Amino acid sequence: MSHKSLMQHVLAEQWNDLPPALQAHYQSTNNADIGVLDIEYPRFMQLYLNFLKLLGALVNQRGTNLATSVEKWMEDGKQQWRRSITLSDGKNLYFNSHWEAAGDSEIIEYVNPFIGLRMTVSVIDKQLHYHGKHYIVNLGKLLLPIPEWLILGHTSIVESAINDKEFEMDFRLTHPLFGQLFRYSGRFTTIPRSLSKN
């Protein structure tokens, strides 16, 4: 990796504490994570997730052991993420976003040009930990913060290396009143890939 990746900039010296599988996951060159994903949420969340999916946020289908690919590339200083999840009926579900550095140990993930989530990142015991700070409404030069509990609750993500090639991730949204509202978790291997961005 000849150029620093977005995550390498954000983590600074902590980058060196990441295992090889996680460094590969966040490399600056075009790549794809290939693996399987489990998605779970309570039934009462279905209509809300259907609405959020229209805004480009999250996914609105449950499933276990779903074949998933996550293509990533850098573009204009931002990291683009293109997720494709194959459901049990063979249909594909897509979820795209882009990431921007937001200062020391912070990133913002935008699911569309106007809505994002600001998170802190840190390396703890060779695992990468994300903690949501607040949601963002992007009004040009003004970034309006929205408390997490008003939307879906607190975001937490833990990524761990299984070996030098594979890693696992666990993404959860937990509301202070309603408990866990959404989770997806999976196991992946990162491979180099020439990407078609159409």
Helix (H) or strand (E) holding 157: strand 154-161
Does residue 38 fall inside a structural domain? yes
Concatenated DSSP letters for 44-112? GGHHHHHHHHHTT-S----EEEEEEEEEEEEETTEEEEEEEEE-TTS-EEEEEEEEEE-STTEEEEESS
Does residue 123 fall inside a structural domain? yes
What is the domain-level CATH number for residue 150? 2.40.128.20
Per-residue pLDDT of the chain (198 residues; tens, 9 = 90+): 447 899 999 999 999 999 999 999 999 999 999 999 999 999 999 999 999 999 999 999 999 999 999 999 999 989 999 999 999 999 999 999 999 999 889 999 999 999 999 999 999 999 999 999 999 999 988 999 999 999 999 999 999 999 999 999 999 999 999 999 999 999 999 999 865 554
Does residue 196 fall inside a structural domain? no
Count how many domains the chain has: 1
Does residue 197 fall inside a structural domain? no
Does residue 184 fall inside a structural domain? yes
Query: What is the span of the domain harbouring residue 184?
Result: 6-191
pTM of the model: 0.93
